[in-house]
Amino acid sequence: MRTDKGSVAGFSADEVDRYLGIPYAAPPVAARRWQPPAPATAWTATRKATSPGSRCLQSGSGTGPGMSEDCLYLNVYTPAKRTGRPLPVLFWIHGGGFSSGSGDTQDGSLIARTNNVVVVTINYRLGVFGFLDLPGLSKQGAGNYGLLDQQAALRWTQRNIGAFGGDASRVTIAGESAGGHSVCALLASPPARGLFSGAIIQSGGCPSHTVKQAVARGEKYATAAGCSVTTADLACLRTKPASELQAAAKDFIGGVLSGPLPTSGVPELPVAPLDAVRTGRAANVPLLIGHTRDEVRSWARPFADATEEQYERAVRIEFGDEADAVLTHYPFSAFGDSYTGAYAFGALWGDSSTFYGLGGCQYQHLTAQYAKRQPHTYYYEFNDPHPPTGRPSDGFDAGASHASEMPYLLPSATSALLTPEQRQLSSEMVRYWGSFVKRGKPATPGIAAWPSYRAGKFMSLLPGGESRALTTEAYEARRQCAFWNSVDYDWLAVDPDRLAALAGVSQA
């Protein structure tokens, strides 16, 4: 297969041609560290594309290929039997809190084969290498190198996907968790306009840091790395080995609510993504958006052994003047006699969207605002009560927790654990997603109709052929949105374990 930089040779398996580890930009090393992505160097001999490129440096060791700063690679999955007509493209952005993950952990073959579409998965710079912001670090892109990597991969797709049977005019960007955050940021980014024609946000909100917040984080990191924060001493960071920079990044990587995010107020993201979507300044393309039923329950685990007094103390720390009203709607006594605090916070956090606006009432309201301008807006809730990643462990039921829908769409080791009823749901979801990529709407013959959000409906995704469209009024009632929309509160500002500690909850 010929790309604009040279030929690549992949391999075929299960009726899908796979081209793995294709460089879409130059290695961001040495002088290119903390710079916008540069064009890849051309090659002459045919490049072997049968294994993924190195994963970007990240928290945790992971498995598979080693980690490296030289990590800007992508993978292409395309049906082995193609007609002459160009195929729609699904461009997948992995999650992992902007601190972990890689394109090779998502296998695009199932969606490609089932729907006759092309799938692209990518790596992008993570953690301190992708989202560090310090004055003078670079002329462009400080705080957003990872986001610029995603855009470089999209431009590669525009130039090259035709050679793989894809249609550059029909590219749907999609991602889960931080990948979903990325999709929202790309919707709001002027340089990304025209690079895609549709968007899928799975369990991702629209969070960002201001320049002031990002620089403060950067200065704290520089000190932790043993360097001065003055512009003249940036060379200290540039000359340090990558391993030392990564070792100093513990606080920069942070936790679920204290890690890196895109930086707004800069040319590539002039308006915060949340404000851009709310005010109609985001790209106006078809959108499929949704979340899992018990999105944040697993993150409430630090409150598993909380007493009623500690639970109420934590609610007062988080909600201040609104705490009495919150406790009236979410009393400790309503959540059983085991793991009570965890289930209670899982419910109120999930309904209130206090995790970066993820799931629940704020998430639904954001969708409603987007749908005012875009008729092809579709909302879902993944409602399988016992997905493989959320089955009870030691008595704690994580339910349909964050990322639990992933094995249903992109094959992984966990996919083998699906029951027959869950495999039926997987088949339906793959077809819904494929239909959206092909037509901008999840209209799929033979399975339940999925109305647009403008029709006042959302899709409840259930195993065993039980998926169905329900009214948004039913969603709002179950999530207590009338209450949450009537009170003033902010996103949770500290990680759950920190909040639990402040409330006096002891951790095992």
For residue range 116-175, list pLDDT tens digits in order. Answer: 999 999 999 999 999 999 999 999 999 999 999 999 999 999 999 999 999 999 999 999
Q: Record the tokens describing residue 71, joined without a space.
A: 């990590």
What's the rounded Cα separation, in Å, for the pair 253 and 255?
Answer: 7
**368 & 413 share domain:** yes
Query: Does 387 fall in a domain?
Result: yes
Q: Record the tokens describing residue 113, joined without a space.
A: 């084969």
φ/ψ bin of 174: left (φ > 0), alpha (ψ from -120 to 50), beta (otherwise): beta
**398 & 378 share domain:** yes
What's the rounded Cα separation, in Å, for the pair 390 and 399?
Answer: 5
**274 & 308 share domain:** no
* Size of the chain in residues: 508
Query: Does 339 fall in a domain?
Result: yes
Boundary residue ending a domain (259, 285, 311): 285
**369 & 476 share domain:** yes
**Farthest CA pair distance, the chain:** 69
pLDDT tens digits for the chain (508 residues)? Answer: 999 999 999 999 999 999 999 999 999 999 999 999 999 999 999 999 999 999 999 986 433 458 999 999 999 999 999 888 999 999 999 999 999 999 999 999 999 999 999 999 999 999 999 999 999 999 999 999 999 999 999 999 999 999 999 999 999 999 999 999 999 999 999 999 999 999 999 999 999 999 999 999 999 999 999 998 776 678 899 999 999 999 999 999 999 999 999 999 999 999 999 999 999 999 999 999 999 999 999 999 999 999 999 999 999 999 999 999 999 999 999 998 899 999 999 999 999 999 999 999 999 999 999 999 999 999 999 999 999 976 666 889 999 999 999 999 998 888 899 999 999 999 999 999 999 999 999 999 999 999 999 999 999 999 999 999 999 999 999 999 999 999 999 999 999 999 999 999 987 6
C-alpha separations of 127 from 61, 185, 221, 258, 457 in Å: 14, 17, 11, 12, 38
For residues 102 and 55, the answer to whether their CB atoms sit within 8 Å is: yes
Q: Record the tokens describing residue 397, joined without a space.
A: 């039921």
Query: Does 32 fall in a domain?
Result: yes
SS (H, E, C) 143-161: CCHHHHHHHHHHHHHHHHH
Query: Does 442 fall in a domain?
Result: no
| pLDDT tens figures, 255-283 | 999 999 999 999 999 999 999 999 999 99
C-alpha separations of 179 from 269, 421, 499 in Å: 16, 28, 26
φ/ψ bin of 446: left (φ > 0), alpha (ψ from -120 to 50), beta (otherwise): left
* Residue 392: predicted pLDDT: 66
What's the rounded Cα separation, in Å, for the pair 9 and 161?
Answer: 15
Query: Does 290 fall in a domain?
Result: no
Q: Angle of helix 145-160 relative to helix 178-188, nearest 10 degrees? A: 80
Please list the residues that pair with 460 across neighbouring strands.
381, 468
Query: Does 29 fall in a domain?
Result: yes
**213 & 322 share domain:** no
Boundary residue ending a domain (251, 285, 319): 285
* Residue 230: predicted pLDDT: 73
**268 & 314 share domain:** no
Provide CB contacts within 8 A for 187, sequence distance 6+. 199, 273, 276, 277, 282, 283, 285
Q: How crowded is the C-beta side of 60, counted as CA atoms within 13 Å?
A: 12
**108 & 168 share domain:** yes
**312 & 333 share domain:** yes
**414 & 365 share domain:** yes
Boundary residue ending a domain (260, 285, 310): 285
Q: Which residues are part of the catalytic machinery? A: 177, 295, 402
Query: Does 439 fall in a domain?
Result: no
- First-to-final CA distance of the chain: 55
Our CA angle for 108, 111, 113, nearest 5°, is 100
**229 & 304 share domain:** no
E strand residue ranges, 277-397: 287-292, 377-382
- Rounded percentage of the chain residues whose pLDDT exceeds 70: 97
Query: Does 176 fall in a domain?
Result: yes
Q: Which domain holds residue 393?
A: 296-434+453-502
**279 & 303 share domain:** no
**163 & 247 share domain:** yes
Q: Domain of 269: which CATH number?
A: 3.40.50.1820
How many domains are there within the chain?
2
C-alpha separations of 32 from 36, 132, 146, 148, 412 in Å: 8, 14, 13, 13, 34
What's the rounded Cα separation, in Å, for the pair 440 and 375?
Answer: 10
> Of 352, 460, 355, which is closest to residue 405 (Cα–Cα)?
460
